[in-house]
Every structure is written in structure tokens, then in C-alpha cells.
Amino acid sequence: MRRAAIVAPCRTPGGAEGGLLGQATPERLLSAVLDAVVDRSGIDAGLIEDMALAQPSQPLAAGVIDGVPATVAGLDSGRRRASGLQALITAAMTVQTGAADVVLAGGVEGGAAGPDPIDEGAVRDAEELAQRYAIRRTAADAFAAQSHRKAADAWQRGSFGDEVVPIDLPYQRDSYLIARDEGVRLDASAERLAELRPFVANGVVTTGNMSNRNVGASACLVVAEEMLDELGLIPMAYFAGWAAAGRDGPDAGSGAAPAVAKLLNKIGITLDDLDLVEINEGFAVEVLALLAEWDWDNAGRLNVNGSAISLGDPGGAAGLRIMTTMVHQLYRSGGSLGLEAISMGPDHGIAALFESAGSFRPDPRLVETAPMPRPVIPNSPAPSRRLGPARFRTTSGSRYGLTGRHRR
């Protein structure tokens, strides 16, 4: 079977509740990362043979994609929290089986950011996990605060500079460049999080130790390994395998555990062979329960730049956002293998394995070496910079859209 290479993975900043990025449409966000993928890879957009997209609940605007041939059919990916990762997996399988040589994988979430309507069932499941694994409120708050510290430190180091695509947005008579994640809290601490009221009396779960939905997009090319030289493409990583699994009975609860076990057994490796582990932070207790089940605690390899609690959960883009951050970190750290795991409920999940290509060298123009950019707020001067001509425009006027073939 052919190897599927990951080329030019990138993402927008995450837009938080009350931030300017929430004004951007899903089409605007997705077009920004698609433009960036083409620009950074250097590929002729006409060579893209198929697309796998994880879209938000509302279909993207209809229109003709000027930059992509009409022969590109495209498909929607839907697997709840893991829709973005499923889009990538679908693209990789398409390449591995020889159905296409170059596939675009993308995901997007737009609209107003902020807390989702509280899913009482999900909160109840999280509280049951906390009881089963004896997870205290203090541990959940400490984990959440650490997620924010990791993300803030990553911005301060400039670690996100080569993966984030800034978004230029108009506001009143000015134009603002959104260049950083809006939801990272520099002042987050376990003590401040402890002030929040739990959803359940004497419970563990609060709005501070769970993820909030945000807006954003992420995308990459998935390319057959033997076509890389011919197309002049440089891979950043290779897709090494995936698994989805569930379980029933009294042991159900730590949703991603069976998928991770199935994948590692299939590949023939253990957690100790992994350089990075990225677990989606839907709830702090989900991650803590999984670590307890594994009897594994290695902070130096787990969510090293934060995850959904600090960076937010961009719905259809979440799985691709996690992969993007992880493979960039694999390059920076010189690591080889990275695991991504997402719980899709109390009894099932999905996991994927990625191998660093090793030969990747980022464009030095994209690497952010300056201190963390300050948040952009209305009535505050901010730089304005255009990101170059859009390749993905629609006849309806939006920068990216889907024909009837591409809609949900």
C-alpha cells in the first residue's frame, strides 16, 4: 500500500467568544487555510484531484470553486468531535489505495464562538468518570490551568508561528490582523478556576475545566509518497495508521482508550515508543481518566502546547488542528512518532498515528520569533496585511464555496 504524505498543514487562529474572529464566515476561514496550503506547498491547484472536508452544521455557501477543477467531486466527513480527523483519514485512504495522488483535507467551524448549550448527558458522563477514577476538582482545575500555561508559553516561544495563518478582518473603518489564538488565558490558574461553580452540586466539571467551542479552520494536502519529487513537494509527516473502536458494559467510560489500544496493537508499538501524545481536551476529566487507565503520566510528551481547553474546540477543524500542531512540534523537537486521540463519547473514540518526515524545513518567513502578539481589540491600532490573492473564489462573491456536489 502506498504511503500518504502530509504536506503544508496549517490552521487559522482560534476565535473565542467576544473576539473579532467570530465575525469571519466559515467560507472566509476555510479559504484562508486553502490559500495558505497552496502557497506554502507550491502546488498547482489544478493538480488537486479530490477533497475531504469536515463542515460545520450549516452548509458552506454555494458557488463554483474557481481554483479547483470541476472534476473534483469532494465529500463531507461526519464523525462528531472527530470529523476533521476523519476527513484527513479519508483523504489518506484515498491516496493509499491509489484512487488519487493529491487530495485536500480540510475542516472548518464558523459563527459565534462561545460555550455550546450545555450537554447534560456529556456533563453526567464526565462526572461519572471523575467518580470512577477518583478525580478531584482540584486535579481537573490544575490540568485546565496547565493547558492555558502551555499554550501561552508556546505563543511566547513563537512555536505556533509556522502553523498559524493570520486572518485579516475589517472592523468599522479599520482592518485588523488576527494572528493569535483568542482564547488563551494568560492569567489562568487553578485558584481562579476554583472560583467557578460546578454544573452539578459538589461536582468536578465547570466551564473552566472543559473546552469551549470556537471558530477556526485547518487544512493540508495528502499526497502519494512517490509523487512528491515529481510535484516538487516537501512532506512534513506521513500518515501511519488509524483505528476507531468502542466498548460496552461497566468498563465503558474512557472513550478514546479502546481506539488507542486497537491502533497500537495493530502497529506493534506501545505508548513508550511515542514522542508526542495529543489527547483532545473535551473535559479535563476525560484526559485524566485516560491517563489513569493507561497508568501513564508524561507531561513532557502530552499536549505539550495545550489543547482544546486553552486553544478551543473548532468543531469540524478540531481533528486537523490537533494534527497540525502535533506534526509541527514533532519537527521542532526532532521526534518521530505522534499519536492523536479523540473521545467521541463515553464508550468510543478514534486515534491516528503520524510519523515525522524529518526532511521538512519551514519557510523562515513564516516562523514567528517575536514575543506573543497582543490580542487585537476594537479601537486599538493593529497592522493590516493582505494574505495574497485568493485562489478559491466563488461566483457568488465569497472566497470559497461549494457546488451542489460538495454540499452536505
pLDDT tens per residue across all 408 residues of the chain: 899 999 999 999 999 877 889 888 888 899 999 999 999 999 999 999 999 999 765 555 544 344 555 566 666 656 667 899 999 999 999 999 999 999 999 999 986 655 556 788 889 999 999 999 999 999 999 999 999 999 999 999 999 999 999 999 887 778 889 999 999 998 899 999 999 999 999 999 999 999 988 999 999 999 999 999 999 999 999 999 999 998 776 655 578 999 999 999 999 999 999 999 999 999 999 999 999 999 998 889 999 999 999 999 998 899 999 999 999 999 999 999 999 999 987 788 999 999 999 855 555 545 443 344 343 333 333 333 333 333 433 323 333 222 222 332
Contact 135, 285 (CB under 8 A): yes
Q: Beta-carbon neighbour count of residue 241 at 10 Å?
A: 17
Angstrom distance (rounded) from CA 102 to CA 222: 6
Of 200, 202, 156, nearest to 180 by C-alpha is 156
Q: Beta-carbon neighbour count of residue 61 at 10 Å?
A: 17
Chain centroid to CA 299: how far? Answer: 20
Question: What b-and-e string marks burial along 88-100, b requiring 16 or more CB atoms within 10 Å of the CB?
Answer: bbbbbbbbbeeeb
Q: Beta-carbon neighbour count of residue 233 at 10 Å?
A: 18
Residue 397 one-letter amino acid: G
Structure confidence at residue 275 (pLDDT): 97
Beta strands in 225-259 (DSSP E): 237-246
DSSP letter, residue 260: H
What is the chain's alpha carbon radius of gyration, rounded to the nearest angstrom?
20
- Give the cell for residue 244: 476507531
Length of the chain: 408
Of 265, 132, 151, nearest to 204 by C-alpha is 132
Of 77, 99, 80, 101, nearest to 88 by C-alpha is 77
**How would you classify the pairing of strands 75-76 and 167-171?**
unpaired
Contact 400, 38 (CB under 8 A): no
Angstrom distance (rounded) from CA 405 to CA 213: 28
- Give the cell for residue 122: 456529556
- Give the cell for residue 267: 502497529
Angstrom distance (rounded) from CA 293 to CA 290: 5
Contact 239, 319 (CB under 8 A): no
Structure confidence at residue 121 (pLDDT): 87
Domains of the chain: 4-356 (3.40.47.10)
Residue holding cell 466551564?
A: 207
Structure confidence at residue 276 (pLDDT): 98
